[in-house]
Amino acid sequence: MVSRVIPVAPFDLVVFGATGDLAQRKILPALFRRFCAGQIPHGTRIIGAARSAFSLDDYRQNLAQSLKKNLGTTAIEDEKLVQFLQLVSYISLDGNGAAGWRALSAALSDGQEQSGSELRVQVYYFSVGPSLFGPLAERLHSHGLTNAATRIVVEKPFGHDLASARDLNRTLAGHFDEGQIYRIDHYLGKETVQNLMAVRFGNMLFEPLWNSQYVDHIQITVAETVGVLGREDYYERSGAMRDMMQNHLMQLLCLIAMEPPAKFDPDAVRDEKLKVIRALDPVEPYHIVRGQYAPASGAVGRDLNYRETVGNQRSSTESYIALKAHISNWRWAGTPFYLRTGKRLKARSSVINVMFKDAPHSIFGEEAGRHANHLKIRLQPNEGITLSVTIKEPGPGGMRLMDVPLDMSFAEALGPKGSEAADAYERLIMDVVRGNQTLFMRGDEVEAAWGWTDPIIAGLQARGDVPKPYESGSVGPGDADLLLRRDQREWRGINP
Ligand code: NAP
């Protein structure tokens, strides 16, 4: 299948934090891949900005090396790389001070008139720590670097709680319209996440069954194998609830649970997501399990032990959280949503499992066993969707039933062997350039998500809740199993 590339007009993109981990690993490789795909035209300007001093040649050389390192299996054509580097320049700049802003201004004003009467799209990507989001917005404004075609991309974390998210929204709103602010959650750029909407709203098959009458429960799992080494300070202040649950899992929950929007339009989709968050019940303390990874017996290594990694033997920050949520609306009343996420787990796996109810009456008798349909939506790795259906076990021996998967792997179904699906960052950055906010979080959505999260965190703190240890490489603390067992259910496995 040939992917369709819609070219855009030449644009300017300034990456603040261009020497940092995210820019080097994700943002710049994503731009290079879009360039190779023919989507980024000649005349586009990509400007890296950070405090470190680099000559243009040195920055381009470093970037070439980092692209080779970070593009994994993507073959790099030397000619393409040379052409791409021609689009890239670098400015040493302090987001908190005065240095470099005049140079940025000069670089951007030069050539602005090229595009004739149409304003040239200007994207400022804030790939820096959150304390710089406000200062950057203020400086862009005070140096006259904004106009109606300006868009800013703001990375997570968007606030630490409701109050700080509100403050940040207020600061950004002082300089930009909501339509210019792109709060990124890269989970929303994943192929399967968008397919989730296509599957739900493009087929007659699922939507009639998508409610508490037919769905027994839904499980959302985002499991990681990595620990927190390298991000200790940030993680110790946030934990899994703030780092993952409030944003990534919440967004997945919204897409699974929302009503069909009237059209696939940014505000229509985001209005429906917001309604889901607002319909979430507060979570009861006994419906929450927190954990901290610890070494399996005999295993040695600093990053197998959370407390050792963060250097705090009394830490009560969770590296794992599981909870049971309820949505109080007509569609979902009575259907629990079990959400879990953690670090140093058995496998890297992001999966949504929609577990349908048993057939109301089995005509095959007790011995045929219980067989319920189950839709598994794999976000990573191996993006795809599997529907388990019940069939007769082949051969003689009576009517024995078994479940078989109808499996659609996107890599196999949608691309030539070995081709890579576009990375979430590629899709999201090009959406910013095109001015499409559908897959970005609106300010009120983020605030509503914090509004649900804050009381949960406050309740845990008030109870003096201590996370349960779980073995690195396991599926998490045993208490998380009890959370479902109490309801006569069980977690699906965590498999790569
Ligand atoms: P990082 O590796 O620490 O990079 C920070 C960047 O900001 C560097 O380029 C640094 O360069 C620059 N910087 C720091 N202070 C500056 C200042 N005063 N003026 C201008 N530039 C300044 O951080 P990161 O991991 O790339 O993360 C960047 C943002 O993305 C953070 O908000 C993070 O939470 C978010 N994020 C990261 C990831 C990830 O996988 N890394 C994932 C999701 C979200 P100089 O020191 O040269 O100035």
For 101, the 3-state DSSP assignment is: helix
Give the model's pLDDT for residue 421: 56
pLDDT score of 123:
98
Q: Taking a C-beta distance cutoff of 8 angstroms, is the pair 390, 364 a contact?
A: no
Closest approach atom of ligand 1 to CA 157 = 34
Q: Is 361 a catalytic residue?
A: no
pLDDT in tens, 15-47: 999 999 999 999 999 999 999 999 999 999 999
| Least confident window among 118-122, 206-210, 218-222, 379-383 | 379-383
pLDDT-derived band at 381, boundaries 50, 70, 90: confident
Q: Which residue CA neighbors atom 1 of ligand 1 most closely?
A: 20
Handedness of CA 354, 357, 362, 368 (dihedral sign): positive
Over residues 212-241, mean pLDDT: 96
Best substitution site from 21, 233, 425 to test ligand 1's pocket, by max atoms within 8 Å of Cβ? 21
What are the pLDDT digits (tens) for 413-430? 666 544 455 689 999 999
Ligand 1 atom 42 nearest Cα? 22
Whether residue 22 has its Cβ less than 6 Å from ligand 1: yes
Active-site entry in 175, 186, 217, 248: 248
With beta carbons less than 8 A apart as the criterion, state whether 456 and 241 touch. yes
Q: Are 232 and 311 in contact (CB under 8 A)?
A: yes
Tell me if 66 sits within 8 A of 137, measured CB to CB: no
User: Cα(first)–Cα(last) distance of the chain, in Å?
Assistant: 26
User: Is 403 within 8 Å of 368 (Cβ atoms)?
Assistant: no
Atom of ligand 1 nearest to the CA of 50: 21
Q: Distance (Å, rounded) from C-alpha 309 to C-alpha 343?
A: 13
| Sign for the pseudo-dihedral over CA of 73, 79, 82, 85 | negative
> Closest by alpha carbon to 135, among 89, 182, 163, 101?
101
Q: Select the more confidently predicted residue: 85 or 4.
A: 85
pLDDT level of residue 116 (50, 70, 90 thresholds): low
Locate the domains of the chain by residue range: 12-155, 188-422+442-485
Mutational test site, ligand 1, from 128, 228, 233, max ligand atoms within 8 Å of CB? 128
Q: Calculate how far, in angstroms, residue 430's C-alpha sits from the geometric centre of ligand 1.
A: 21
Q: State which ligand 1 atom lies nearest to the alpha carbon of 186.
A: 43
The torsion angle over the Cα atoms of residues 121, 428, 14 and 230, rounded to 10 degrees, is 170
pLDDT at 128 over 60: yes
Q: What is the pLDDT of residue 403?
A: 87
**Ligand 1 in reach of 51 Cβ (< 6 A):** yes
Average pLDDT, stretch 128-134? 95
> How confident is the model at residue 362, as a pLDDT?
82
Please report how many Cα atoms fall inside a 13 Å half-sphere around the Cα of residue 139, on the Cβ side.
Answer: 20
Q: How far is the CA of 51 from the centre of ligand 1 (A)?
A: 11
Interval between CA 132 and ligand 1 midpoint (Å): 9
* C-alpha 22 to ligand 1 mean position (Å): 7
Helix (H) or strand (E) holding 447: helix 443-463
Neighbours of 229 (CB within 10 A): 12
The per-residue pLDDT for range 68-105, each reduced to its tens digit, is 998 876 677 888 999 999 999 999 999 999 999 999 99
**3-state SS record for 212-273:** CCCEEEEEEEEECCCCCCCCHHHHHHHHHHHHHHHHHHHHHHHHHHCCCCCCCCHHHHHHHH
Q: From the CA of 373, how far away is ligand 1's center (Å)?
A: 44
Measured in whole angstroms, how far is the alpha carbon of residue 257 from the centre of its chain?
17
pLDDT at 74: 66
Element (H, E) at 340: strand 337-342
Q: Is 233 in the pocket of ligand 1 (CB under 6 A)?
A: no
Q: Over 80: is that where the pLDDT of 1 sits?
A: no
d(CA 374, CA 490) in angstroms, rounded, equals 13
Q: Kind and range of the H or E element at 470?
A: strand 468-471
Q: Considering the entire predicted model, what is its pTM?
A: 0.93
CATH topology of domain 12-155: Rossmann fold (3.40.50)
Share the mean pLDDT of the chain: 92
Asked if residue 130 has its Cβ within 6 Å of ligand 1, the reply is: yes
Structure tokens at 14: 């300034």
Residue 230 C-alpha to ligand 1 middle, in angstroms? 13
- Indicate the SS3 state at residue 287: helix
Nearest CA to ligand 1 atom 25: 21
Is 466's pLDDT higher than 90? yes
**Residue % of the chain over a pLDDT of 70:** 95
Cis peptide before 135 (omega within 30 of 0): no
Q: Is 155 in the pocket of ligand 1 (CB under 6 A)?
A: yes
What's the whole-number mean pLDDT along residues 180-192? 93
CATH of 188-422+442-485, one of 3.30.465.10, 3.30.420.130, 3.90.79.10, 3.30.360.10: 3.30.360.10
Mean pLDDT value of segment 130-147? 96
User: Would you put residue 344 in left (φ > 0), alpha (ψ -120 to 50) or beta?
Assistant: left
Q: Which pLDDT belongs to residue 419?
A: 47
The one-character DSSP state at 474 is: B
Q: Does ligand 1 lie within 6 Å of residue 200's CB atom?
A: no
The confidence score (pLDDT) of residue 90 equals 97
pLDDT of residue 297: 79
How far, in Å, are 37, 43, 176, 409, 414 from residue 2 at the CA level?
Answer: 11, 26, 38, 17, 9
The pLDDT, as a whole number, for residue 359 is 86
| The token pair that represents 330 in the structure block | 């007509």
Q: Which residues contact 178 (CB under 8 A, 6 or more apart)?
A: 442, 443
Give 48-66 as a DSSP string. EEESS---HHHHHHHHHHH
Which ligand 1 atom is at minimum distance from the Cα of 18? 9
The answer to whether 136 touches 95, Cβ cutoff 8 Å, is yes
Rg (CA), the chain: 24
Q: From the alpha carbon of 16, which atom of ligand 1 is closest?
A: 21
DSSP of 364-425, one letter per residue? T-GGG-----EEEEEEESS-EEEEEEEEEPSSSSS--EEEEEEEEEHHHHHS-TTPPPPPHH
Nearest ligand 1 atom to alpha carbon 126:
29
Is the beta carbon of 427 within 6 A of some atom in ligand 1? no
Instruction: Name, in order, each residue with C-beta under 8 angstroms of 401's C-beta and a sequence gap of 6 or more.
Output: 364, 368, 369, 371, 390, 391, 392, 393
Considering only CA atoms, which of 342, 201, 213, 206 is closest in space to residue 259?
201
430-454 per-position pLDDT tens digit: 999 999 999 999 999 999 999 999 9
